[in-house]
Structures are given as structure tokens and as C-alpha cells.
Amino acid sequence: RIMAFPTLRWYENGKAATPDYRGDRTVDALMEYVKKRGKNIERKKQEEQGVTSKDKYAANEFSEFEEEHHPGCLVAGHLMVNRVPGNFHMEARSVNHEINAAMTNLTHRVNDLSFGSTDPTSGHVLHMINRFSNVPEKFKHTNPMKDKFYPTYDYHEAWHHHMKVVSTHIDYLFSRGTVLYQILENSQVVYYPEESVPEIKFRFDMSPMSVNLTKEGRRWYEYLTSLLAIIGGTYTTLGLINATLLRIFKPKKI
């Protein structure tokens, strides 16, 4: 299936070999690609005959031909955003392919989307906090869209994601404090006119409120005071009960 134009595809014995060519459209790049494909065919023939290469780098040389083929795009990276409402969006566009952006299918999967730094040197030490690591993932709300699939089945429609971001500050032992961002997410399908280009939108709103988590300990003398108070209260209560019983059951003089 051809997903875009122009597409360069390699065929072996009448069958398409994936993935499609993604390199430069120059003579040198194409010749290098053909040579690698030829070497890959020879390697497969040798493996079928039971002859394996002793070169430990041989597998890496042809690893680009062994990857799983998928027609989609993989987007990875990070954005620096201000603490104000904002958005970022994605739409089909390419300088190397001629596509009809209004007719694209924007089915997508979110592998990971979170706010804040995961660098331990910046004070983000949640992976070291046993209490937090024991909390089920669905209650953390730091990455609620993780591994979720958002399909679209018709043209001129796309998913819009709305996120409410709440900062949570955690003071733990002698660390500088950990700041994580919990997300309340809501997604819905939006329908576009035929002449408009659909796009995946991620809207975020930084909440003006924040959550502060601190741990307060008790001194040993506070426990001792509480223990003595319990003992004293118990002694007083038993004394009152004893006096009441004596008054009720004490023999009366005739």
C-alpha cells in the first residue's frame, strides 16, 4: 500500500521488502542503498545455507532492514512551555512528499506525555520514594495518556486533548524538594469541514493552585505524654466506675 508520493520501494522475488527507502534522493545515496540491499540478500542466502558471519558488526550493518515497518511517524522530544495556558498541534505536512493533508488519517498512540523534568539532578527523585512507587499508576495522574490509542475511522476528524496540569510539591528527607505535575485529561473527537486540514491538538492549562505534601514527625516526649495521658485517663475512669459500684451494692444499715 502506497501511503505517500513519491515512494521508493525495494522488491525481492516479486515481494515488497520493508521498510521503504527513507534516504536522500541523490545518485550516491541510492547507489549505497542498492549495495546494502545486495549485501543483505547475500547474507540471507548464507544463513539459509548454514553459513554465518563471524563479524560481530554484520548484524548492525543490516539492522535498518530488519525493523518493523509501519506507515506512521514517530514524534519524540520535549518542549519548553510557560506556566500559562497553551497548546501544540500536529498535522500532516511534508516537503518531500505530495499529500492531501485534508484527507489524512490522524490515528495515533501516545506512548508518553508528561510535564516536568525526570532528571534526578533537578530534584525529581520520585523513583527513590518507596511510598510513591507503591501507589498504583492510575492514581498518580502524572502520565494519564500513557500507551493510550486514539483511532479515527473517517476523514476530516481528529482527536483534541485537554489537560489540566496541577503542580505538586513533595518535601522528602534532605532533598531539595520534588516538583511533579499531575494531569487531569479529557479527550474528544472533533469534526472538520471538508476544506479544512484536521490536526491533533494538545491543550494544557496550568492550574493556579498547587498541592504541597510534607512529612511531619513527632518527638519522643510527645509519645510519652500521650501514653501517660491514656494511663491517667484509664485510672480515673476505673476509679469512677468502682465508686459507683460500691455505692450501688453497699449494704444498707437497718
What's residue 53's pLDDT? 52
Res. 245: pLDDT tops 70: yes
What's residue 162's pLDDT? 95
Higher pLDDT, 155 or 127: 155
Q: How confident is the model at residue 176 (pLDDT cuts 50, 70, 90)?
A: low
What's residue 212's pLDDT? 80
Res. 249: pLDDT tops 80: no
Q: How far apart are CA 182 and CA 89, in angstroms?
A: 21
What's residue 189's pLDDT? 94
Please give, one letter per residue, the 3-state secondary structure of the chain.
CCCCECCCCEEECCEEECCCCCCCCCHHHHHHHHHHHHHHHHHHHHHHCCCCCCCCCHHHHCHHHCCCCCCCCCCCCCCCCCCCCEEEEECCCCCCCECCHHHCCCCEEECCCCCCCCCHHHCCCHHHCHHHHCCCHHHHCCCCCCCEEECCCCCCEEEEEEEEEEEEEECCCCCCCEEEEEEEEEEEEEECCCCCCCCEEEEEEEEEEEEEECCCCCCHHHHHHHHHHHHHHHHHHHHHHHHHHHHHHCCCCC
Rounded to the nearest integer, the mean pLDDT of the chain is 78
Higher pLDDT, 244 or 205: 205
Res. 175: pLDDT tops 70: no
What are the angstrom distances between the C-alpha of 101 and each of 20, 71, 75?
21, 15, 18
Does the pTM of the predicted model rise above 0.75?
no
Q: How confident is the model at residue 39 (pLDDT cuts 50, 70, 90)?
A: confident
Q: How far apart are CA 33 and CA 186, in angstroms?
A: 45
What's residue 123's pLDDT? 43
> What is the average pLDDT across 62-75?
59
